[in-house]
Amino acid sequence: MTNPVSTRYSSHPEDFKRYTTPEIREKFLIEDLFKANELTGVYTMEDRLIVGGIHPVDHPVTLVAVEQNKAEYFLERREIGIINVGAPTQISVEGEIFDLGHKEALYIGKGNKEVVFHPSSSGATYLYYNSAPAHKSCPTKKITTAEAEVVTLGSLENSNHRTINKLLVASVLETCQLQMGMTELKPGSVWNTMPSHTHDRRMEAYFYFDISENNAVAHFMGQPDETRVVWMKNHQAIISPPWSIHSGAGTSNYTFIWGMAGENMDYGDMDAVKPTELR
Protein backbone atom coordinates (compact mmCIF):
# COMPACT_ATOMS: atom_id res chain seq x y z
CA MET A 1 0.00 0.00 0.00
CA THR A 2 1.32 3.48 -0.85
CA ASN A 3 2.09 5.80 2.04
CA PRO A 4 -0.99 8.02 2.58
CA VAL A 5 1.14 10.72 4.27
CA SER A 6 3.58 12.79 2.19
CA THR A 7 6.55 14.77 3.54
CA ARG A 8 7.06 18.54 3.19
CA TYR A 9 10.42 20.09 4.14
CA SER A 10 10.88 23.42 5.92
CA SER A 11 11.60 26.66 4.03
CA HIS A 12 13.94 29.51 4.90
CA PRO A 13 12.10 32.88 4.99
CA GLU A 14 14.66 34.42 2.57
CA ASP A 15 14.03 31.61 0.06
CA PHE A 16 10.27 32.07 0.51
CA LYS A 17 10.55 35.62 -0.91
CA ARG A 18 11.72 34.17 -4.25
CA TYR A 19 9.00 31.52 -4.59
CA THR A 20 6.48 31.81 -7.41
CA THR A 21 2.76 31.39 -6.72
CA PRO A 22 2.79 27.70 -7.86
CA GLU A 23 5.84 27.03 -5.63
CA ILE A 24 4.14 28.56 -2.59
CA ARG A 25 1.05 26.46 -3.24
CA GLU A 26 3.08 23.28 -3.72
CA LYS A 27 5.07 23.77 -0.48
CA PHE A 28 2.39 25.08 1.90
CA LEU A 29 -1.14 24.40 0.59
CA ILE A 30 -2.80 21.02 1.27
CA GLU A 31 -5.59 20.60 -1.27
CA ASP A 32 -6.97 17.05 -1.13
CA LEU A 33 -7.51 16.13 2.49
CA PHE A 34 -10.51 13.87 2.11
CA LYS A 35 -10.39 10.64 0.07
CA ALA A 36 -13.13 8.00 0.42
CA ASN A 37 -12.32 5.36 3.07
CA GLU A 38 -8.80 6.75 3.61
CA LEU A 39 -6.67 8.68 6.02
CA THR A 40 -4.53 11.25 4.20
CA GLY A 41 -1.90 13.60 5.55
CA VAL A 42 1.12 15.80 5.16
CA TYR A 43 4.07 15.34 7.51
CA THR A 44 5.62 18.79 7.72
CA MET A 45 9.14 19.22 9.07
CA GLU A 46 7.80 22.37 10.78
CA ASP A 47 7.73 20.90 14.30
CA ARG A 48 6.89 17.51 12.70
CA LEU A 49 3.17 18.18 12.74
CA ILE A 50 1.06 15.81 10.66
CA VAL A 51 -1.95 17.57 9.11
CA GLY A 52 -4.64 15.47 7.51
CA GLY A 53 -8.15 14.22 6.93
CA ILE A 54 -10.08 11.00 7.50
CA HIS A 55 -13.14 10.26 5.36
CA PRO A 56 -14.81 6.91 6.16
CA VAL A 57 -17.61 6.36 3.64
CA ASP A 58 -18.75 2.73 3.69
CA HIS A 59 -16.30 1.11 6.08
CA PRO A 60 -14.23 2.14 9.12
CA VAL A 61 -10.73 3.58 8.76
CA THR A 62 -8.03 2.40 11.17
CA LEU A 63 -5.14 4.58 12.39
CA VAL A 64 -1.95 2.74 11.43
CA ALA A 65 1.71 3.73 11.53
CA VAL A 66 2.95 5.60 8.47
CA GLU A 67 6.46 5.32 7.01
CA GLN A 68 7.63 8.56 8.64
CA ASN A 69 6.84 7.18 12.14
CA LYS A 70 9.18 4.19 11.83
CA ALA A 71 7.08 2.86 14.69
CA GLU A 72 4.89 -0.14 15.40
CA TYR A 73 1.77 2.04 15.61
CA PHE A 74 0.90 5.69 14.84
CA LEU A 75 0.59 6.90 18.43
CA GLU A 76 3.66 5.07 19.75
CA ARG A 77 5.45 8.44 20.17
CA ARG A 78 2.68 10.84 19.12
CA GLU A 79 -0.53 12.53 20.24
CA ILE A 80 -3.45 13.41 17.95
CA GLY A 81 -6.30 15.92 17.95
CA ILE A 82 -9.35 15.32 15.76
CA ILE A 83 -12.14 17.79 15.02
CA ASN A 84 -15.35 16.62 13.37
CA VAL A 85 -16.27 18.89 10.45
CA GLY A 86 -18.94 16.52 9.11
CA ALA A 87 -21.92 14.53 10.42
CA PRO A 88 -21.94 13.11 13.99
CA THR A 89 -19.90 9.92 14.12
CA GLN A 90 -18.01 7.52 16.39
CA ILE A 91 -14.33 6.97 17.07
CA SER A 92 -13.18 3.97 19.08
CA VAL A 93 -9.98 4.11 21.12
CA GLU A 94 -8.78 0.76 22.54
CA GLY A 95 -12.41 -0.40 22.29
CA GLU A 96 -13.94 2.63 24.03
CA ILE A 97 -16.49 4.42 21.82
CA PHE A 98 -16.51 8.22 21.66
CA ASP A 99 -19.52 9.90 20.01
CA LEU A 100 -18.24 12.96 18.23
CA GLY A 101 -20.74 15.59 17.09
CA HIS A 102 -20.19 18.30 14.48
CA LYS A 103 -17.48 20.74 15.61
CA GLU A 104 -16.53 18.56 18.60
CA ALA A 105 -12.91 17.56 19.29
CA LEU A 106 -11.26 14.37 20.50
CA TYR A 107 -7.75 14.29 21.93
CA ILE A 108 -6.02 10.89 21.95
CA GLY A 109 -2.81 10.52 23.90
CA LYS A 110 0.43 8.69 23.17
CA GLY A 111 0.39 4.92 23.62
CA ASN A 112 -3.06 4.10 22.24
CA LYS A 113 -2.65 1.29 19.70
CA GLU A 114 -6.15 0.74 18.35
CA VAL A 115 -7.98 3.78 16.99
CA VAL A 116 -10.86 3.29 14.54
CA PHE A 117 -12.83 6.01 12.71
CA HIS A 118 -16.36 4.95 11.81
CA PRO A 119 -18.60 6.21 8.98
CA SER A 120 -21.53 8.30 10.20
CA SER A 121 -25.02 6.84 9.98
CA SER A 122 -26.51 10.30 9.39
CA GLY A 123 -24.38 11.97 6.71
CA ALA A 124 -20.90 12.42 5.31
CA THR A 125 -17.99 11.87 7.72
CA TYR A 126 -15.18 14.41 7.58
CA LEU A 127 -12.60 14.33 10.38
CA TYR A 128 -9.70 16.80 10.36
CA TYR A 129 -6.63 15.96 12.44
CA ASN A 130 -3.29 17.30 13.64
CA SER A 131 -0.70 15.04 15.27
CA ALA A 132 2.53 16.03 17.02
CA PRO A 133 5.39 14.11 18.65
CA ALA A 134 4.66 13.41 22.34
CA HIS A 135 6.96 12.54 25.24
CA LYS A 136 4.31 11.16 27.63
CA SER A 137 0.80 9.78 27.63
CA CYS A 138 -1.96 12.29 28.42
CA PRO A 139 -5.56 11.08 28.97
CA THR A 140 -7.82 10.73 25.95
CA LYS A 141 -10.67 13.24 26.17
CA LYS A 142 -13.56 14.58 24.13
CA ILE A 143 -14.05 18.36 24.22
CA THR A 144 -17.26 20.09 23.10
CA THR A 145 -17.57 23.81 22.33
CA ALA A 146 -19.38 24.14 25.70
CA GLU A 147 -16.22 22.88 27.42
CA ALA A 148 -13.87 25.03 25.36
CA GLU A 149 -12.37 28.35 26.40
CA VAL A 150 -14.33 30.74 24.22
CA VAL A 151 -13.42 34.34 23.38
CA THR A 152 -15.12 36.73 21.00
CA LEU A 153 -12.85 39.22 19.27
CA GLY A 154 -13.11 42.01 16.70
CA SER A 155 -16.16 43.90 15.47
CA LEU A 156 -18.47 44.05 12.46
CA GLU A 157 -17.15 47.59 11.80
CA ASN A 158 -13.66 46.11 11.34
CA SER A 159 -15.04 43.07 9.42
CA ASN A 160 -13.30 40.74 11.92
CA HIS A 161 -16.03 39.81 14.43
CA ARG A 162 -15.30 36.20 15.36
CA THR A 163 -15.53 33.56 18.07
CA ILE A 164 -12.40 31.66 18.99
CA ASN A 165 -13.15 28.23 20.50
CA LYS A 166 -9.99 27.03 22.22
CA LEU A 167 -10.71 23.29 22.28
CA LEU A 168 -7.42 21.48 22.90
CA VAL A 169 -5.41 24.04 24.88
CA ALA A 170 -3.65 23.97 28.27
CA SER A 171 -6.55 25.70 30.08
CA VAL A 172 -8.95 22.93 28.95
CA LEU A 173 -6.93 19.68 29.03
CA GLU A 174 -3.41 18.34 29.23
CA THR A 175 -1.48 17.67 26.03
CA CYS A 176 2.26 17.36 25.36
CA GLN A 177 2.61 20.12 22.75
CA LEU A 178 -0.47 20.09 20.56
CA GLN A 179 -2.94 23.00 20.67
CA MET A 180 -6.07 23.10 18.50
CA GLY A 181 -9.18 25.21 18.20
CA MET A 182 -11.80 26.55 15.87
CA THR A 183 -12.60 30.15 14.92
CA GLU A 184 -16.03 31.05 13.53
CA LEU A 185 -16.52 34.29 11.61
CA LYS A 186 -19.82 36.11 12.20
CA PRO A 187 -21.99 36.92 9.15
CA GLY A 188 -20.62 40.05 7.48
CA SER A 189 -17.14 39.56 8.93
CA VAL A 190 -14.40 38.18 6.70
CA TRP A 191 -11.02 38.81 8.38
CA ASN A 192 -9.42 36.22 10.64
CA THR A 193 -6.37 36.89 12.79
CA MET A 194 -6.38 40.60 11.99
CA PRO A 195 -4.46 42.30 13.58
CA SER A 196 -2.08 39.50 12.63
CA HIS A 197 0.85 37.99 14.48
CA THR A 198 3.78 35.60 14.34
CA HIS A 199 5.11 33.27 17.06
CA ASP A 200 8.63 32.05 16.37
CA ARG A 201 8.15 29.55 19.19
CA ARG A 202 5.42 27.59 17.39
CA MET A 203 4.38 26.67 13.87
CA GLU A 204 0.70 26.66 12.95
CA ALA A 205 -1.63 25.03 10.42
CA TYR A 206 -5.02 26.37 9.29
CA PHE A 207 -7.88 24.34 7.81
CA TYR A 208 -10.72 26.33 6.22
CA PHE A 209 -14.28 24.97 6.10
CA ASP A 210 -17.89 26.20 5.98
CA ILE A 211 -16.85 28.26 2.93
CA SER A 212 -20.04 28.45 0.89
CA GLU A 213 -20.19 27.69 -2.83
CA ASN A 214 -18.46 30.19 -5.14
CA ASN A 215 -16.59 31.77 -2.23
CA ALA A 216 -12.90 31.57 -1.31
CA VAL A 217 -10.46 32.81 1.31
CA ALA A 218 -7.34 34.87 0.54
CA HIS A 219 -4.84 33.53 3.09
CA PHE A 220 -1.88 35.81 3.82
CA MET A 221 1.52 34.41 4.78
CA GLY A 222 5.19 35.39 4.90
CA GLN A 223 7.21 37.62 7.19
CA PRO A 224 5.21 40.72 8.11
CA ASP A 225 7.34 43.01 5.92
CA GLU A 226 6.90 40.88 2.77
CA THR A 227 3.64 38.96 2.55
CA ARG A 228 2.13 36.72 -0.13
CA VAL A 229 -1.42 35.52 -0.73
CA VAL A 230 -2.71 31.97 -1.25
CA TRP A 231 -6.30 31.64 -2.49
CA MET A 232 -7.99 28.77 -0.67
CA LYS A 233 -11.16 26.76 -1.20
CA ASN A 234 -13.39 24.89 1.24
CA HIS A 235 -11.72 21.90 3.02
CA GLN A 236 -8.16 23.00 2.28
CA ALA A 237 -5.33 23.45 4.80
CA ILE A 238 -2.15 25.48 4.86
CA ILE A 239 1.13 25.22 6.74
CA SER A 240 2.38 28.35 8.49
CA PRO A 241 6.09 28.27 9.47
CA PRO A 242 6.97 29.96 12.80
CA TRP A 243 8.25 33.09 10.98
CA SER A 244 5.04 33.60 9.01
CA ILE A 245 1.88 35.55 9.68
CA HIS A 246 -1.33 33.55 9.15
CA SER A 247 -4.35 35.73 8.42
CA GLY A 248 -7.18 35.45 5.94
CA ALA A 249 -9.93 37.47 4.31
CA GLY A 250 -12.86 35.61 2.77
CA THR A 251 -15.27 36.66 0.07
CA SER A 252 -17.86 35.62 2.70
CA ASN A 253 -17.73 34.41 6.30
CA TYR A 254 -16.37 30.92 7.10
CA THR A 255 -14.91 28.78 9.90
CA PHE A 256 -11.37 27.50 10.32
CA ILE A 257 -9.39 25.18 12.56
CA TRP A 258 -5.99 26.22 13.83
CA GLY A 259 -3.43 23.83 15.26
CA MET A 260 0.00 24.48 16.71
CA ALA A 261 3.08 22.63 17.94
CA GLY A 262 6.46 23.79 19.15
CA GLU A 263 8.26 25.40 22.04
CA ASN A 264 5.53 26.46 24.47
CA MET A 265 1.88 25.89 25.32
CA ASP A 266 0.96 29.54 25.79
CA TYR A 267 -1.82 30.36 23.32
CA GLY A 268 -1.40 34.07 24.08
CA ASP A 269 2.32 34.12 23.24
CA MET A 270 2.12 36.09 19.97
CA ASP A 271 4.18 38.90 18.44
CA ALA A 272 1.46 41.25 17.23
CA VAL A 273 1.74 43.08 13.91
CA LYS A 274 -0.37 46.18 13.25
CA PRO A 275 -2.18 46.27 9.87
CA THR A 276 -0.20 49.43 9.05
CA GLU A 277 3.08 47.52 9.54
CA LEU A 278 2.29 44.86 6.93
CA ARG A 279 3.95 44.98 3.53
Binding site for ligand LADIRMRS (CB under 6 A): 162, 164, 181, 183, 192-193, 204, 246, 258, 270
**219 binding partner (options Zn ion, ligand LADIRMRS, none; Cβ < 5 to 8 Å by kind):** none
Query: Per the annotation, does 197 bind a ligand?
Result: yes
Partner in contact with 192, chosen from ligand LADIRMRS, Zn ion, none, beta carbon below 5 to 8 Å by kind? ligand LADIRMRS
Residue 196 CB, shortest distance to Zn ion, in Å, is: 8
- Determine the distance from the C-alpha atom of residue 167 to the mean position of all C-alpha atoms in its chain, rounded to a whole number: 12
CB 193 within 8 A of CB 260: no
Taking the complex as a whole, how short is the minimal distance between the CB of residue 33 and ligand LADIRMRS, in angstroms? 19
Closest approach of ligand LADIRMRS to the CB of residue 162, in Å: 5
One-character DSSP codes across 180-227: EEEEEEPTT--EES-SEEE-TTEEEEEEEE-PPTT--EEEEEE-TTS-
246 is in an annotated binding site: yes
Query: Closer CB to Zn ion, residue 76 or residue 149?
Result: 149
Contact residues for 3 (Cβ-Cβ < 8 A; gap 6+): 66, 67, 68
Residues with Cβ within 8 Å of residue 175, at least 6 apart in sequence? 79, 81, 107, 109, 134, 138, 168, 265
Choices 6-14, 58-66, 141-149, 202-210; region in contact with Zn ion by CB under 5 A:
202-210
Name the binder of 162 from ligand LADIRMRS, Zn ion, none, CB < 5-8 A by kind.
Answer: ligand LADIRMRS
Residue 256 burial by CB count (10 A; 0-12/13-18/19+): exposed, middle or buried? Answer: buried
Q: Which residues are annotated as a binding site?
A: 197, 199, 204, 246
Q: Binding-site residues for Zn(2+), please? A: 197, 199, 204, 246
